[in-house]
Structure 1
Amino acid sequence: MTQIVFLAVIGYISGSIPFSFLIPKLKGVDIRKVGSGNVGGTNVLRYLGGIIGFLTMTLDGFKAFVPMLIASLLFGLPQDRLIIIGFFAAIGHSYSIFLKFKGGKAVACTVGTLTGLKGWFLPLFLAIWTPIVLVTKYVSLASIITVAVMNIIVFFVSGVETGLWIFALLIFTIFRHRENIRRLLKGKERKTDLIAAFKNKRDP
């Protein structure tokens, strides 16, 4: 029990580091006051372009991946322990202690968690997520669908216990995207053009 609590705390503190706030701040932008106001990689990508958005998403993913990697290399922890770090990193990202318990929607942290379990989960995630975004231009829809598909894969590859943790992340992902889901159902969800973003064309 002590180890579980320790891993949860490490994950939460790491996840709380608000890269999606800090990186734009270095550019003189308070990401909470532009675009959707969400402290997450998608809002950064829309407002500051694909390069900075991708950098932010990568750093957000590292918040889960790096402590999981360290715990694996130094202490040889099994997946059912490493996943605790990743799960609570996602919680920390969404409810950061440094941002008065506010934050993003934790998709990048979820990707970092999956990568911490199996390195090949990362290219697989991107192979599913990217075409959906390019075709629909809905990041929220792509994120929910991809996490759901990855959850099924994790059940088969990593077993029931780890799969249940990813299922919990899926439920959390859906919860954090509840407003996006409402807008999707009403046909009012904001679109994101990835190609335009990487050309550094800011969405209106």
Structure 2
Amino acid sequence: MEHIRLLALYFLIEFLTGSIMFSYLIGLLLHKDIRKYGDGNPGGFNLWHAGGKVAGIVGSLLDFLKGAIPLFFIVKSGKFSTFELNIIAIAPLLGHIFTPLLKGRGGKGVATTFGIWVALTNFRIAILFAISLILYPIIFHKGYEESPEYNALRVVGSFTFIGVFVYILHKEFLLAWFLNIMLLIYSHRRELSDIPVRLKERFLG
């Protein structure tokens, strides 16, 4: 029972850490509501639009760090089984996407996802995810047009593909990967649902 309480405590800490919307808060410091820019996402990309490149980089870095740093120390502590780490690892992403700070309307979770997989796999899967994001448009759509819909497909498609490497290199974290991809699909659901409409407009006019 004591161990279950400890697990719940760490999960809650991770969730609350993930729910801190750094980009949104930085926007407020700059007297801007970043939800009124771009696609309305309270993340680093819209902070970039609203407050400039430096602010956007800082916001994205903090979103990355909140996924990486607490989880890194939890993994190193050795207090939890692999299955329990799978559960704890997803907590900051849940906090980011369903943040109480914005009544459950959080961000997309890409930067936080990178942080989680840096902590879980000592950078391996995070680096492969980054490479996949770079190669995706080259392989599948060279010269693609930048759009929220295509970027959503790029993120979800790349992380789905990364599941192969998780299976090969870190099979113990397949559950975390599965939960992660489900949350990324959810956070990008609006853009993904618009893809058939955009394709119809492009090819049928």
- Shorter-chain TM-score range: 0.7 to 0.9
What is the 5 A alignment of 1:22-41?
22-41=25-44
TM-score under structure 1 length normalisation: 0.80
Match of 1:176 among 182, 187, 193: 187
Partners of 2:175 and 2:86 lie apart in 1 by 10
Per-residue deviation, 1:24: 1.8
CA shift at 1:10, angstroms?
Answer: 1.4
Counterpart residue number, 1:70: 73
Q: Structure 1 regions of 5+ residues with no counterpart?
A: 189-204
In 2: Cα distance, 1:129 partner to 1:185 partner: 22
For 1:84, which of 66, 82, 87 is the aligned residue?
Answer: 87
Show the counterpart of 1:154.
166
Matching residue within 10, 16, 40 for 1:7: 10
**What is the count of residue pairs matched by the alignment?**
187
Deviation at 1:92, TM superposition (A): 0.4
Alignment of 1:181-192 (within 5 A): 181-187=192-198
What are the Cα deviations for residues 101-158 of structure 1, in whole angstroms up to 9, with x where unaligned? Answer: 2211212211111111121222222111134468433321221112112222112211
Secondary structure of 2:90's counterpart equals helix
Distance apart, 1:20 and its partner CA: 1.9
* Counterpart Cα distance in 2 of 1:103 and 1:47: 17
- Secondary structure at 1:72 match in 2: helix
Shift of residue 16, structure 1, vs aligned partner: 0.5
Letter in 2 for 1:169: N
The runs of 4+ residues in structure 1 deviating greater than 4 Å are 75-79
CA separation of 1:47/1:145 partners in 2, compared to 1, >3 Å: closer, same or farther? Answer: farther
Q: 1:52 Cα shift?
A: 2.7
The offset of 1:56, in angstroms, is: 1.6
Q: 1:143 aligns with which of 132, 148, 155?
A: 155
Write the letter of the residue equivalent to 1:127: I
Q: State the distance in 2 between where 1:46 and 1:144 align.
A: 23
Letter in 2 for 1:40: G
> What is the letter of the counterpart of residue 170 of structure 1?
I
Structure 2 stretches lacking a partner, 5+ long:
200-205
Tell me how far 1:79 sits from its aligned partner: 4.4
Letter in 2 for 1:152: V
Q: Which moved more, 1:70-79 or 1:32-41?
A: 70-79
Q: Indicate the residue corresponding to 1:128 in structure 2.
A: 132
Q: Partners in 2 of 1:151 and 1:51 — Cα distance?
A: 32
- Counterpart AA for 2:187: R
1:198 corresponds to which residue? none
- Is the Cα–Cα contact under 8 Å of residues 63 and 89 in structure 1 kept in the other structure? yes
Change (3 A) 1:51 1:149: farther
Give the structure, 1 or 2, with the largest relative contact order (CA under 8 Å, sep 6 or more). 1
Which of 97, 101, 104 is matched with 1:101 structurally? 104
Aligned-pair identity (%):
27
1:152·1:163 contact (CA, 8 Å) conserved in 2? no
Deviation at 1:80, TM superposition (A): 3.5
> Cα RMSD between the aligned structures?
2.2
Task: Give me the whole-angstrom Cα distance separating, in 1, the residues matched to 2:19 and 2:134.
Answer: 26
The structural deviation recorded for 1:187 is 1.4
Match of 1:111 in 2: 114
